Amino acid sequence: MKNRLKVLRAERDWTQGDLANALAISRQSINAIETGKYDPSLPLAFRIADLFDLPIEAIFLRD
């Protein structure tokens, strides 16, 4: 699944580690999500959306 996570993270000047810490997941998971190798669970997608104060659809895009 395509996503805007890397762009949103960069806009806030956050590292992958910063985002991982905020979400209580590993930095490797953030990397996998950003590169499209891993699709987050729905609960994690909601936590990401809440953190960025955006709807899920504004972060995760259909292929």
Give the architecture (CATH level 2) of 2-58.
Answer: Orthogonal Bundle (1.10)
Mean pLDDT, range 14-38, rounded to an integer: 97
Output b/e per residue, 23-43; b: 16+ Cβ within 10 A.
Answer: bebeeebbeebbeeeeebeee
Q: What is the pLDDT of residue 57?
A: 96
Q: What is the pLDDT of residue 63?
A: 72
Quote the mean pLDDT of the chain. 96
Between CA 23 and CA 3 the distance in angstroms is 17
Is the pLDDT score of 62 beyond 90? no
Mean pLDDT, range 17-45, rounded to an integer: 97
Mean pLDDT, range 47-52, rounded to an integer: 98
β-sheet bridge partners, residue 60? 3
Burial class (CB in 10 A: 0-12, 13-18, 19+), 17: exposed
Is the pLDDT score of 10 beyond 80? yes
